[in-house]
Amino acid sequence: MSLSTSPSATYHSSPASIDASRWQRGNTAAAAAKQLKPFATEDIRILLLENVNQTGRDILAAQGYQVDFLKTSLPEDELIQRIRDVHVIGIRSKTQLTARVLREAKNLIVVGCFCIGTNQVDTQYAAKHGIAVFNSPFSNSRSVAELIIAEVIMLARQLGDRSNELHRGTWNKVSSGCWEIRGKTLGSQLSVLAEAMGMTVIFYDAINLMALGTAKQVPNLETLLRGADFVTCHVPELPETHNLIGPAQFEQMKRGSYLINASRGSVIDIPALIDAIRSGKLAGAALDVYPAEPGGNGDYFTNDLNLWIEDLRSLKNIILTPHIGGSTEEAQSAIGIEVSEALVRYVNEGGTLGAVNMPEVHLRSLTTEEHNHVRVIYIHHNVPGVLRKVNEILGDHNVDKQMTDSRGDVAYLMADISDVNASVIKDLYQSLEGLS
C-alpha cells in the first residue's frame, strides 16, 4: 500500500503490512483549488479486467497512468502473475480477489469494483493490508428497476411462454392465468415506476426508510409476503440473507403470486422455488442471479453448474436471464465514470469517501497559493500509541491540517504539511515506515 514520491525520485514500499504512508504534492495550476497528484504519475500501473466501460478507461488514461485492459476475467494463477506489479485493479463481478491473490499484490493500493457488489473481494483482508475498495452502489439502479418492471408484465401475461411456443411453431392464444398489473401489489421500492402503472407498493427493510410516493413500509417480511402479488428482492449477500426466501416464506406468499430476484443468487432457495412453482403456489418467477454462475459466455448453464438447473429450465412461466440487471449502456457508462473518478481521487488525493472497507476521511483541497506543501496518508492498525508516535515525527514540521478516523482494526490518517522539500519528504517517509 505504501507509496512515497518526490519531484526527483520515487520511493515504494510493500503493502504487506497495514502500516503505509503516501505522499502527494500539488501542481501550480491557476485554479484556486490545487490539483494533487503523485509525483510520478507515470509509475501508477492499472489493470482493468472484464471489459470495464470505455468511459472509465478514458478517465484513468487521461491522468497519465499506465492502463492495461482485458475484456475477460483471469484464472486465479494467471491473475496472481498479472497483479504483482500493479497499483490499481479494476474488476466486475467475475474476478475473485481472494486473500491468496491479494497476498501477492505487493504494490496494490486500491481496488475498483465496477459494479454494485463487493463480495468477490476479500475486503477484510484488503483493509488489514492497506488496500482500499470502491464500488458503484447506485449507478445501475434505474436499469435494474426497468428490467424488473418488464418482468412483472411478462410474468403477468405469460409472454415468455407464448414467445417460446411461437418460436417452436405453436400458436397458443389463451387468456387463462393472464392478468393486468393495474391494481396489483408489488413488494419492493420500485414505487416511482410501479405506481405510474397503477400498482400499489409495499416494502420491508431491516431499518426504517423514507417511502417514495405512496409506498408503505410493512413491519416484517411475513406481512410483505402475505400482502404482495409480486415479490422482488433487493438485498446484499450476507450470512443473514442466505436463503432468505425458502420453504417457509413460499408458504406465506399468496397463491398465484410471483417472485423476482435480481439481487444475489444466494438469497433464494431455488429447489424450494421449483417446488413452489410445480405445486401451483407461485404462478411464475424471474431470476437474474444464481448461487453459482458461469465464468464466461457459452453453453454453461447446465447441471454441471448447479444440480437443479435443468429442473429450473423446464418450468413454465419462468424468466431466466444471465445476470444482466445492470447491463445497459447507460448504467455501464455511469459505473465507469463513478468508480474511475473514485480511484483517481484516492490515488491523487488520498480521499476515502465511498470506500467500503476503510474509514471515510477527507481534507479540503490545497490552494495554488500553498507552495511546497505535501499531503501525508498513513494507514495503520488501530492500537494505542500509534498517533503519538506519528505526531512525534510530524511535530518538527508545520502541519496545516490533519484528520484521522478508524473503522474496526484499521485507522487512516491524512495530514497536509507545509514548507517541505524532497529531502524532508524522504526523511519523513522513512521515519513513518520505521513504525511498521
Positions marked active-site: 264, 293, 323
For 236-273, letters b (16+ CB in 10 Å) and e give ebeeebeebbbeebbebbbeebbbbbbbbbbbbbbebb
Q: How far apart are the first and last CA of the chain?
A: 12
Other Cβ atoms closer than 10 A to 409: 13
Identify the burial level of 221 via C-beta atoms within 10 angstroms of its C-beta, where 0-12 means exposed, 13-18 middle and 19 or more buried: middle
Given strand 45-48, what is the order of strands in its sheet? Answer: 66-69, 45-48, 88-91, 110-113, 132-134
378 sits in which H/E element: strand 374-381
Name all contacts of 307-315 with Cβ < 8 Å and 24+ positions apart: 308/270, 308/271, 308/274, 311/274, 312/270, 312/274, 312/287, 315/274, 315/277, 315/278, 315/285
DSSP 158-192: THHHHHHHHHTT------TT----TT-EEESS-HH
d(CA 237, CA 218): 22
How many residues make up the chain in this entry? 436
Which candidate, 145, 113, 188, 153, places its Cα nearest to that of 342? 113
d(CA 2, CA 16): 9
Tell me the C-alpha to C-alpha distance, in Å, between residue 411 and each of 5, 219, 381: 22, 37, 6
Amino acid (one-letter) located at 139: S
Question: Cell 466501460 appears where?
Answer: 53
d(CA 120, CA 107): 20
Phi, psi at residue 183, to the nearest 5°? 85, -10
d(CA 109, CA 343): 10
Q: How many CA atoms lie within 13 A of 157 on its CB side?
A: 13
d(CA 46, CA 57): 10
